[in-house]
Structure 1
């Protein structure tokens, strides 16, 4: 995760030469407050290109990045861009709800329940230790470069051991960093041009902590969890209908550069990414709830978050498998999901804790697995959610699951009401909750006849999730748009 230091550091940044070669300059979008502050401090190194709706495009010497990294997030944040056109376009990106989100349905219950049993916290913990043992994985350090080489080799050996010659593991090279991103591709059997992505950053530390940043949680935990998801998919010979990609991003800690390079490339090539889940810091349980879904409009998709609500309600509502969830926010482009969101892709970011209750040791020499109790059970929750996300969007090409309505009541949703009717005594609705896109339960009903109507004309426009518990022990979920 990108880190921003208290604002006092802003005044402690060492002065640099007044003149710089333009080839060392780059573009970024940031708040107009930060843009003005940067120009005041470095008048010869910062040029404001455009300001609109409280945001500015700045053209500046890369040496100014050290100053950017020292700023308090309440004063503003930034995202780097490869050129002026892309920077200006990003200012006007306004994510809109797309109807296809309703096509994401829960149909792979039996297969998912089977593979969830294979998630092993000890396996995740061992991988966290392996990554921690590099000492640092900062993107320009030899250890960080070697970590990307070793991770690619590990992922290749896992595919080879599983006799999956159809799976590709490739480097994505960047011209701004010697560290490479790595991409696993599990090809879709029937819809290969539709892609589901899981990702997280491989590097650790920042420009203030580059020499020793073990990054066990930030983000060894995310890479270890992605590796566990990959291991479970291989063990169960998962062959999806749609293509699945698992990515380890380079150079996140210096401006989301690796993820941004890939997302921008995909956008220019017209790659159809159905959804992207980012895993960054998932091992430290600092809050009461299990999983916190990040709600940052412009960076995360509220509608795709509703799909995560649905997965959690469907697979984790029983006492045996219970996972509690809520919302949190960064307030800025704090991790790689933002790179995808800014290029128009739906992205979500489930996080380990709520806001200030996150791991207090991140970006320090104390970000070790030992300081998390040598326990990866919290990360295992995110491995399960990641598996559910991938399988339920990409679908199992060889699934024997047949959709059946006999165990569920009839439901029809119209503009102003929900119409329900139970087909038999075993499909009676016991309770119903309607949840909006910011995880608020806006309607709860506990008394049901065999059939009836529920008025919803007071709901604001948006996407909602309906969760029904039936007297046969089953849970029925349904998304709808008002």
Structure 2
């Protein structure tokens, strides 16, 4: 009888384990790298990130003259970015419009339509889970000349270029992610994070399952006199783990040194995600840009080696979480 009870107990436990396993939350079966380790397949994709390609994208954005958020051509600018995504094979690339009141630094108020640009790489296993990479595309300088000339190469053509570059590489290399990746160029950041706020609030309302957001803002200035390249990875109290993993990815796949200084964490698009309870981190170079918000923020004053390395971190994270 003892053995019979023992057998029954084993069968009962086994059946319970089988049922429990079949009822697992889908998050339990999802690959999440607790401790990132080197993966040659990830490196092969990351190594496709190209400094010359990034430079050409930044120059292309600079050549638009100004991407000032209240310019008459703001929709045309958004369409050009959308069309670049489409040229990479993202036929679902779209403008996501929203209406907002914007007041300039010289006290002019505009009621305008603004346009986020979104391109989606659909997930093959858990498409309802979403990873976001992005940066704002609008630019500004410190006076009303922004209407005609606001090149915004580092701030923030660099972040848009990084987003476009990762989108290009993943599509060209045929990467098939487990979960959905959204590449976003945000509008009207310089006026108060309006584009990312609109997106994040809509996402929260729709209960969108965003796993994390990678924000890139001013990632292409680094003094040529400095040998070491250093990225500041800002986080929030709900995304410390993501930031720590980003530092691990820097060590595995880039030449970057890392720091974590959160002084400016409220001043870029990642903050909108945090305010809506989404995990987000924010990449920026650890250097004061002397050309910030001036007509001299041009491609020629950017460093595309550090831009490439920061772009590689983004790519590594998106790939490793979705392989």
Report the TM range for the smaller structure's normalisation.
0.7 to 0.9
Tell me if 1:306 matches 2:244: yes
Deviation at 1:108, TM superposition (A): 7.7
Is residue 33 of structure 2 the alignment partner of residue 104 of structure 1?
yes
Secondary structure of 1:129's counterpart equals helix
Aligned 8 A contact 2:88 2:172 in 1: no
The CA RMSD over aligned residues, in Å, is 2.4
Task: State which structure, 1 or 2, has the greater radius of gyration over its C-alpha atoms.
Answer: 1
Distance 1:309 1:189, change over 3 A: same
Superposed displacement of residue 206, structure 1: 5.8
Report if the CA contact (8 A) 1:206-1:254 is conserved: no
Whether contact under 8 Å (1:289, 1:326) holds in the other structure is: no
Contact 1:136 1:143 in 2 (8 A): no
Identify the structure with the greater helix proportion: 2
Q: Hey, which of these two has a bigger chunk of strand by percent?
A: 1
| Residue 143 (structure 2) aligns with | 208
The residue number in structure 2 matching 1:233 is: 170
Structure 2 Cα separation of the partners of residues 331 and 130 of structure 1: 28
In 2, the alpha carbon distance for the partners of 1:102 and 1:156 equals 29
1:278, 1:337 within 8 Å by CA — same for their partners in 2? Answer: yes
What SS is found at the alignment partner of 2:88? helix
TM-fit CA distance, 1:247: 0.3
Within 5 A, what are the aligned runs for 1:322-333? Answer: 322-331=255-264, 333=266
Deviation for aligned residue 1:111: 1.7
* Structure 2 residue runs without a partner (length 5+): 1-27, 101-111
The change in CA–CA distance for 1:179 and 1:108 in structure 2 (over 3 A counts) is farther
Distance 1:292 1:262 in 2: 25
C-alpha displacement of 1:268: 0.9
Question: Offset at 1:392?
Answer: 1.4
Distance 1:254 1:260 in 2: 12
Partner residue in 2 for 1:188: 123
Return closer, same or farther for 1:376/1:314 CA change in 2, 3 Å cut-off.
closer
- Other-structure match for 2:53: 123
Change (3 A) 1:185 1:104: same
In the alignment, is residue 346 of structure 1 matched against residue 276 of structure 2?
Answer: no
Which secondary structure state, in structure 1, belongs to the residue aligned with residue 321 of structure 2? Answer: helix
Q: Which residue number corresponds to residue 199 of structure 1? A: 134
Deviations 1:15-73 (A, max 9, x none): xxxxxxxxxxxxxxxxxxxxxxxxxxxxxxxxxxxxxxxxxxxxxxxxxxxxxxxxxxx
Q: Of 148, 152, 174, which residue of structure 1 is paired with 2:98?
A: 174
**Structure 2 CA distance for partners of 1:100 and 1:240, relative to 1, 3 Å:** closer
* Equivalences for residues 55-94 of structure 1 within 5 A: none
- Equivalences, count: 280
Aligned pairs for 1:379-398 within 5 A: 379-395=307-323
* TM-score (ref. length: structure 1): 0.55
Change (3 A) 1:289 1:117: closer
Tell me if structure 2 keeps the 8 A contact 1:292–1:351.
yes
Partners of 1:206 and 1:335 in 2: CA distance = 17
Offset at 1:100?
A: 11
Cα shift readout 1:308-351 (whole Å, capped 9, x = no counterpart): 122123334xxxxx321112223451100000011000000111
Match of 1:290 among 224, 230, 251: 230
Q: What is the SS of the residue equivalent to 2:213? A: strand
From 154, 166, 169, the equivalent of 2:84 is: 154
Cα distance in 1 for residues equivalent to 2:298 and 2:142: 19
Task: Report the alpha carbon displacement of residue 143 of structure 1 after superposing the two structures with TM.
Answer: 3.7
Map of 1:247 onto structure 2? 184
Asked whether the 8 Å contact 2:142–2:294 carries over to 1, the reply is: no
- Structure 1 contact 108–391 (Cα < 8 Å) conserved: no
Shift of 1:145: 2.8
The DSSP-based 3-state class of the residue aligned with 1:308 is helix
Provide Cα deviations, 1:145-182, integer angstroms capped at 9, x if missing partner.
Answer: 321111111111220xxxx6xx5211110111433101
What pairs with 1:415-434 in structure 2 (closer than 5 Å)? none
Residue 200 of structure 1 contacts residue 248 of structure 1 at CA under 8 Å; is this kept in 2?
yes
Q: Is residue 266 of structure 1 aligned with residue 196 of structure 2?
A: no
TM-score by length of 2: 0.80
CA distance in 2 between partners of 1:170 and 1:136 (Å): 21
Asked whether the equivalents of residues 141 and 295 of structure 2 are also in contact (C-alpha less than 8 Å), the reply is no
Counterpart of 1:335 (choices 250, 253, 268) is 268
